[in-house]
A and B are shown apart, each in its own frame.
Chain A
């Protein structure tokens, strides 16, 4: 059993429980134990790019330190947590002024620690599947292949951009989610809007703006023959569903659980 540190994030405890539950169940089947870090704090939802923003990034740094202390990679399932924590880790690795100031803040914490300078490897669950488990191994473990289902991978923005920081996949022509879809026996549908924005947090104050962006995505997926869209982001899912997608939108962990035979209700 491979052990990795795990940061679930606020939404996986509330509105996106399926994302968390099935991530854990599937990891077990695949020989990986997700060890939730203690007392994690919300990542803040979005990364603030200004280099004079320090305090708002400290929750991510604390999560990175917790993983460093266990000498494990830090895995997230939510695209947003992943984006914030990976960008914070990049900044603390590459920006000396940010690193010094963040460590100065953290030196006020009750627990005394060595200064942190980016030692932890941050991985999205998809990267765990591709780089640690391997899609071939997943294929072997599939007991209920999703044969014949045409599935649109919806990357959105947070998994991919900024490309040089996220280093997740080719930001303009990614393949990892399509490889995942093939590994569980289904057929990936390639469509132009798979890495365009759903409208994100603007949904809160300008729902019409988010509707336009979301409809562009789901119309594009549907018109290319998809019967289902898959995402790793609770806000993408909300925006696509809320704005009247004609095709169902599910979390990738739900499909993985179905294929691995650990999903309770296969009709859901």
Chain B
């Protein structure tokens, strides 16, 4: 029987399709990440912490909502690890929990102005809520 920690690790690895063991810890993903300064845990740490099964710590961190899904880390990883996909899988584990949406429709009116494109609202809702 897998315990909760092992189940989470199995789910994140399976759903992201990422093998964290390919990582050689060069840090290039974090070096190229435009949100590095805003993150408590950086892309290379996501990969390592998932490998260690320390996923609940990541799920509770704001870092999962700071990723821009710009895929710079995916493009520039010399080992093809695809860190953004691991961050996505951890974020989904967090927002799929009941009552744990990071943004809801009620939050939108105060965040928009006359110029903001629909695309921004659609994208944010898709990334932050279930």
Binding site for B on A (CB under 8 A): 9-11, 14-16, 42, 44-53, 56, 78, 80, 157, 160-163, 171-172, 196-197, 199-206, 209, 212-213, 216, 233-235, 237-238, 241-242
| Residues of chain B contacted by A202 (CB below 8 angstroms) | 35, 65-66, 68, 124
Residue B71 at the chain A interface, CB threshold 8 Å = yes
The answer for the CA separation of A49 and B119 in the assembled complex, in Å, is 18
Stretch at the interface among B42-50, B51-59, B82-90: B82-90
| Residues of chain B contacted by A16 (CB below 8 angstroms) | 117
The answer for the CA separation of A44 and B14 in the assembled complex, in Å, is 23
The answer to whether B68 and A162 touch across the interface, beta carbons within 8 angstroms, is: no
Give the interface SS of chain B, mostly helix, strand, loop or mixed.
helix
The answer to whether residues A49 and B16 also contact, given A10-B119, A209-B38, A234-B117 and a CB cut-off of 8 A, is yes
Max count, chain A CB within 10 A of own CB: residue among B38, B85, B126 = B126
The answer to whether residues A46 and B127 also contact, given A11-B119, A53-B92, A206-B66 and a CB cut-off of 8 A, is yes
The answer to whether A205 and B111 touch across the interface, beta carbons within 8 angstroms, is: yes
The answer for the CA separation of A242 and B15 in the assembled complex, in Å, is 36
Residue of B whose beta carbon sits closest to that of A161: B71
Residue B10 at the chain A interface, CB threshold 8 Å = no
Interface size on B, residues (CB 8 A): 41
| Residues of chain B contacted by A235 (CB below 8 angstroms) | 117, 119-120, 123
- Quick one: which of A52, A157, A163, A200 contacts B123, CB cutoff 8 A? A200
The answer to whether B122 and A197 touch across the interface, beta carbons within 8 angstroms, is: no
The answer to whether B117 and A204 touch across the interface, beta carbons within 8 angstroms, is: no
- Quick one: which of B70, B92, B124, B126 contacts A205, CB cutoff 8 A? B124
| Residues of chain A contacted by B40 (CB below 8 angstroms) | none
Interface members, chain B 56-105 (any A CB < 8 Å): 65-66, 68-72, 74-76, 82, 84-85, 88-89, 92, 103
The answer for the CA separation of A235 and B89 in the assembled complex, in Å, is 24
The answer for the CA separation of A53 and B92 in the assembled complex, in Å, is 10
| Residues of chain B contacted by A56 (CB below 8 angstroms) | 126
The answer to whether B70 and A161 touch across the interface, beta carbons within 8 angstroms, is: yes
The answer to whether B65 and A204 touch across the interface, beta carbons within 8 angstroms, is: no
Residue B24 at the chain A interface, CB threshold 8 Å = no
The answer to whether A161 and B72 touch across the interface, beta carbons within 8 angstroms, is: yes
